[in-house]
A and B are shown apart, each in its own frame.
Chain A
Amino acid sequence: MYEFRSRGRTLALSLLLVVSLLLATLEVRADSWGVVRVGLGSWLVPLQRLAVEVFDPLVATVEGLAGIASLRSENAALRAELAETLAEMAAVEDQLARLDSLERLVDLDLPDVEQTRTLANVVGRQVGFEFHLRIDKGLEEGVVAGNPVLDENGYLLGRVGASTEDFATVIPLSADVEGLTVLVAGSVGVLRPQVGSVLLSLEVFDSPPIVAEGEDVVTSQLSVSFPPGLPVGSLVGEARVVGSVLRGAVKPFSDPQRARAVLVVSWPPGPNE
């Protein structure tokens, strides 16, 4: 079936193949067929333009239909990209907030505190039986157990619980087992944490003062562990006098859950400071 059925076909086939090869060889070797190409191809251009004009709406419709088919996958990819971008934005915002906290800590003006200050980032939180923060500075930066810790506004946050070479833990006021000697309305009292509450209980033994709600509470000069005059919190609710003791509740100014950066103050001062 596939044998040649006529000499004419063989002749035509051979002739045209040879002409094709000749044309190709001449173009490659002689490199002078540009005129021929322009001449032969130029009359196709108007026809091509006409075809585009006529069939363009049809092609656009087909392309639109094909585009709808791929729209879902493209939407899914865009949503994933958007989620990734939002996550990056949240990370950047967190870094900016941390930077803002650090800048405020650097510019902090503390009353009567001329001791060494160490800026530290909060790098972890332990929430559970013993709530504490973990900061990225330790003994190498001079952070030792017992150092007072302030938040970005200069409010007393707590004290350093334990310190290793390169990190330390901070015990907030509301989780500390030790009491804090404070001054409220000119009288010295003691603040103690209450189990299961963010409020601190205040007890003033010596000549109970007349206090009102919102009265500020600061650290006392009698305190050994903290510099005097550091703002601690404010009185909430009405204080009650029981016998010769004034009892009330104090809400700390600082919020350890939101702290990103803290300031560690070396206290008590060394013999050369």
Chain B
Amino acid sequence: MSSRIRLRRYRSRRDSARSVARTVPRGVSFLPFQRSVRWGRGLAWLAGVVGVVVLQTSVVGRLQIGGVSPDLVIMVVAYAAFRLRDNGVIVLGFLSGLLLDVSGTSVIGLLAFAMTLVAWGATLTREQGGRGVLVNALRILLLTLAGIAVHTVISIAFGEWSLAIWEGLRRMALIPFLNFVLAVVLFPLSNRLWVPSLK
């Protein structure tokens, strides 16, 4: 498939989704200038994040490849950007990081900080999520890499870094790669979530 045909299909899907989004009924607004908040959808994603955090901290940790496990939470936050608005994604990222913080033993707030930035990155790269399997997987890879890098830096700043430098670099290389592979495998599902232009 040539790039021109792919671009045409992408624009067609985007226009179709925009027309659908205009017909969706708005949620509740509490302030005059506030846009509507879709609480149901947000809570559903929050429940999903809780489930993924539970899986990440109980089951996924046992499925290790090369001594590391994929980071499902970052992937879910990245996919949430397909359906939630910017603030929703950022709040979801913060809460997922906070949940990871309290379920572990590290300083509370470090993963929340990193995941908030990941969520912000996910909102910025939302459009790229629908541009094919490799672009989407690359987006996941970069978000994962950014999340781990930010968490590493903030951990060092707060004196919480306990890994050897090579161990840290190995994790920084392997986890994004695992997420990349997982994003390729899950693309048929994630592509269904993608709705362009939620503004």
Contact = CB atoms under 8 A, between A and B. Distances in A.
Given A20-B116, A44-B57, A33 B87 contact: no
B185 interface: no
A94 to B, nearest CB: 43
Contacts of B97: 20
B174 to A, nearest CB: 16
A50 B103 CA distance: 15
Interface string B156-167: 001100000000
A1 interface: yes
Interface string A8-20: 1100110011011
A63 B123 CA distance: 36
Interface in B70-87: 86-87
A2 B142 CA distance: 15
B86 A28 contact: no
Contacts of A28: 107, 158-159
A47 interface: yes
Contacts of A16: 90-91, 94, 112, 116
A72 interface: no
A22 interface: yes
A27 B54 contact: no
A45 to B, nearest CB: 9
A23 to B, nearest CB: 3
Contact of B55 (A2, A6, A22, A51): A51
A40 interface: yes
Contact of B108 (A24, A47, A49, A62): A24
A201 B109 CA distance: 99
Interface residues of A, number: 36
A263 B91 CA distance: 91
A200 to B, nearest CB: 71
Given A16-B94, A20-B97, A20-B109, A41 B63 contact: no
Interface string B15-46: 00000000000000000000000000000000
Contacts of B101: 23
A48 to B, nearest CB: 4
A68 B194 CA distance: 38
B112 A44 contact: no
Given A13-B120, A59-B59, 10 more contacts: A16-B91, A17-B116, A20-B116, A23-B109, A25-B109, A33-B108, A37-B108, A44-B57, A55-B55, A59-B63
Question: Closest 9 CB pairs between A and B?
Answer: A23-B109, A24-B109, A20-B113, A48-B58, A40-B102, A9-B86, A20-B112, A41-B102, A16-B94
